[in-house]
Structure 1
Amino acid sequence: MPGKMIELEEYIKQQQKEPDNYTPVFYRLKNQQEYDALLALLASKPHIQVYDQISSQLSELMKIRNPAKRLTTEESEQQINEFLGNASLSTIGVWVYFPWSGRVVHILDEKEFVELRTSRNKHKITDEEAAILGTKKIGIIGLSVGQSIALTLAMERVCGELRLADFDELELSNMNRIRTGIYNLSQSKVVIAAREIAELDPFIKVKCYTQGATEDNLMDFMTGNGQLDILVEECDGIDIKIISRMKAKELKIPVVMEMNDRGMLDIERFDLDPELPLLHGLIPDLDLVTLQNLTSEEKIPILGPMVGMKDMSPKMKYSLTEIGKSITTWPQLASSVVLGGAMVADTCRRIILDQLRSSGRYYVDFEQLIR
Structure 2
Amino acid sequence: MSEQAGFFAELSDEELMRYSRQILVQQIDVAGQLRLKNSRVLIVGVGGLGSPVALYLAAAGVGELHLADFDSVDLSNLQRQVVHDSLTVGQPKVDSAAARLKAINPLIKLQLLRSALDQDSLASAVAAVDLVLDCSDNFTTREAVNAACVAARIPLVSGAAIRLEGQLSVFDPRSDASPCYHCLYGHGSEAELTCSEAGVVGPLVGLVGSLQALEALKLLAGFGEPMIGRLLLIDALGSRFRELRVKRDPACRVCAVACQQVPDEPLGNE
TM class, shorter-chain normalised? 0.7 to 0.9
State the match for 1:238 in structure 2: 139
| Residue equivalent to 1:356 | 225
Distance change >3 Å, CA 276–CA 258, structure 1 → 2:
closer
Q: Distance in 1 between matches of 2:17 and 2:116?
A: 34
CA gap of 1:361–1:114, structure 2 versus 1, over 3 A, is same
Cα 1:277–1:202, aligned 2, differ >3 Å: closer, same or farther? Answer: closer
Equivalent residue for 1:116, pick from 1, 17, 37: 17
Q: 1:333 to 1:184 in 2, by over 3 A?
A: same
* Matched ranges for 1:214-363 at <5 A: 214-223=118-127, 227-260=128-161, 261-273=164-176, 276-283=179-186, 299-300=190-191, 303=192, 329-352=197-220, 353-357=222-226, 358-363=228-233
Quickly say closer, same or farther: Cα 1:237–1:339, change in 2 above 3 A. closer
* Higher Rg: 1
* Between structures 1 and 2, the one with greater helix share: 1
Contact 2:132 2:154 in 1 (8 A): yes
Q: Which shows bigger deviation, 180-189 or 232-241? A: 232-241
1:345-364 residue CA offsets vs partner (Å, 9 max, x unmatched): 11111122153252231134
Deviations 1:73-99 (A, max 9, x none): xxxxxxxxxxxxxxxxxxxxxxxxxxx
State the structure with bigger RCO (CA 8 A, min sep 6), 1 or 2.
2
Instruction: Give the TM-score, by structure 1 length.
Output: 0.55
2:100 matched to which residue of 1? 196
Say whether the 8 Å CA contact 2:138–2:190 is kept in structure 1: no
Structure 2 segments unaligned to the other structure (5+ residues): 1-10, 242-270
Report how many residues are paired.
222
The amino acid that maps onto 2:108 is: I
- Measure, in 1, the Cα distance between the counterparts of 2:22 and 2:173: 29
Verify the 8 A CA contact 2:39 2:130 in the aligned structure 1.
yes
The runs of at least 4 consecutive aligned structure 1 residues that moved more than 6 Å come to none
Paired amino acid for 2:40: K
- Residue aligning to 2:40: 137
CA shift, 1:185, in A, is 0.9
Task: Give the distance between the partners of 1:275 and 1:117, measured in 2 at CA.
Answer: 35
Stretch moving more, 359-368 or 171-180 = 359-368
Q: In 2, distance between residues paired with 1:298 and 1:119?
A: 45
> Sequence identity of aligned pairs in percent?
22
Secondary structure, in 3 states, of the residue corresponding to 1:259? Answer: strand
| Deviation of 1:199 (Å) | 1.1
Distance of 1:151 and 1:331 partners within structure 2 = 23
Residues 84-129 of structure 1 deviation map (CA, whole Å, 9 limit, x = unaligned): xxxxxxxxxxxxxxxxxxxxxxxxxx82221111112232231111
Q: How many Å separate the matches in 2 of 1:232 and 1:298? A: 21
Counterpart in the other structure of 1:146: 50
Q: TM-score scaled to structure 2, two decimals?
A: 0.74
1: distance between equivalents of 2:178 and 2:56?
31
1:287-344 per-residue CA deviation (whole Å, 9 max, x = no partner) reads xxxxxxxxxx9633xx4xxxxxxxxxxxxxxxx6xx8xxx952322221122123201
Counterpart Cα distance in 1 of 2:145 and 2:240: 33
Q: Deviations over 1:143-197 (max 9, x none)?
A: 112122111111122x211111111000100010122331111001111111111
The 3-state SS of whatever aligns with 1:216 is helix
Q: 274-283 or 327-336: which moved more?
A: 274-283
- Given that residues 213 and 240 in structure 1 are in contact (C-alpha distance below 8 angstroms), is that contact kept between their aligned partners in structure 2? no
1:15-35: per-residue Cα shift (whole Å, max 9, x none)? xxxxxxxxxxxxxxxxxxxxx
Match of 1:205 in 2: 109
Alignment deviations for residues 186-220 of structure 1 (CA, whole Å, 9 cap, x no partner) = 00111111111111111211101111332231122
Alignment partners' CA distance in 2, 1:328 and 1:178: 13
The separation in 1 between residues aligned to 2:90 and 2:115, in whole angstroms, is 14
Gaps of at least 5 residues in structure 1 are: 1-109, 285-296, 304-319
Q: d(CA) in 2 for partners of 1:368 and 1:151?
A: 24
Q: CA RMSD in A?
A: 2.5
